[in-house]
Amino acid sequence: MDLRKLILSGRARYGIIGLGYVGLPLAVALARRGFRVAGFEVDKAKIRDINKGVSYIGDIPSETVRELHSKGLLSASGDFSGLKEQDIVIICVPTPLRKSKDPDVSYIVASAEQLRPRLRKGQLVILESTTYPGTTVELVKPLLEETGLAAGKDFFLAFSPERVDPGNPKYGIENTPKVVGGVTKTCGELAALAYSRAVEKVVPVSSTEAAEMVKLVENTFRAVNIGLVNEIALMCHRLGLNVWEILDAAASKPFGYMPFKPGPGIGGHCIPLDPHYLGWKMKTLNFEPRFIELAGAVNSAMPEHVVSRLAEILNIHGRALNGSRLLVLGMAYKADIADHRESPATDVVSLLLKTKARVDYHDPHVPEIEINGKKHRSRPLAPAMLKRYDCVIIVTAHSRIDYGMVARHSRLVFDTRNAAAGISSEKIYRL
């Protein structure tokens, strides 16, 4: 039976390489529709958890994983030889940056090398890992074609950018439109069909390069606008204006304006990294990506501004950073999730520790984290405990934190996220 009929009949077998924040939600969405999904991982802890019916991602209940695994619809393995049994293989591995801000595509290469000896005729391979335009045809395609099989003829190859937003209660895999581009028209059509069984809307584009570019445009748009509003926050501080008042008033305009919020920096796997993939690619073409570089410089400097502003606040009250007892609220990169990848909170804490301040943190979702080579544990949040700190710094605005209580029982509060909006207190200072 050909691949199209396998997908339409519900008998297609999906293999997903990488069961992280992208791979596991996709695997669950497909398994919920009755497809057999096999996950392939190098992390033994993830393999163990999936096969025990345990979820390590907050958006996915363990009960769901347990039910799908018990029905034989979801499994995980570290034995990549099982890839040859899959009809559709989707690569969902990380794509970090090197210290030089160059793309690190080693996980993509490793995945393609694991797949290469198991590749067979009629298989569909889809790359989801965020990367620079050209990766699918310039890197993955040649590696797989070393088998003697031709993409678009013997096997099918496509790219579909992940659009996962951890902690988003409204949009998940199923109701977020899926962009798909193939190396040939047939490749794109089959990839669109493969996703359409679990996703409400598929948006086809003309090529894998176009699909790769879509993801970078989405996150570069956000990075640049966050950089702009962060710089506006710096301007308002110099002008003696309340940036939150300004932005709230600007947001009242019903056309021609889209609100963005300033903060202590940007975090997560996408926004801090993805624009640099596009910037790197454009530099290879002798094109200077000025907006990307400027936004990156502004956003990456925000943790230093937070520390500088905190020093000002403490100085007003006759305190120095050196020796002060400080409590950071929020270690995840965004509210109500456990993901602390690229979190500006870790940069803020790292900088504060270098000033010899005594720093603790509280985050209901991140019980432990390593910063500057040392493990730190989340502290409990209670009125008596708050009184011991010289200042409380709100870095991530978690909904489970009572900011009214924080304001009442703290000596000083430095709110970088406007989490305590509406609470009037002389103790509260803003970004």
Is 4 exposed, middle or buried (CB count within 10 Å of its CB: 0-12, 13-18, 19+)?
middle
What is the full DSSP assignment across 92-159? Answer: -----B-TTS-B--HHHHHHHHHHGGG--TT-EEEE-S---TTHIIIIIHHHHHTTSPPBTTTBEEEE
Cα 346 to Cα 370: distance, rounded to the nearest angstrom: 9
- Going by C-alpha positions, the residue among 64, 2, 5, 14 that lies closest to residue 198 is 14
Query: What is the three-class DSSP state of 239?
Result: helix
State the catalytic residue, choosing from 187, 236, 270, 391.
Answer: 270
Work out the angle between the directed axes of helices 208-239 and 302-316 (0-180°, nearest 10): 20
- Going by C-alpha positions, the residue among 337, 351, 340 that lies closest to residue 272 is 340
Phi-psi region of 167 (alpha: psi -120 to 50; beta: other; left: phi over 0): left
Residue type, 328: V
CA dihedral 300, 303, 306, 308 (to 10 degrees): -90
The number of residues making up the chain comes to 431
Is 184 exposed, middle or buried (CB count within 10 Å of its CB: 0-12, 13-18, 19+)?
middle
Q: Give, as one character, the DSSP assignment of residue 272.
A: T
Structure tokens at 342: 């690229």
Phi-psi region of 360 (alpha: psi -120 to 50; beta: other; left: phi over 0): beta
Tell me, yes or no, if 187 is annotated catalytic. no
> Which positions are annotated as active-site residues?
270
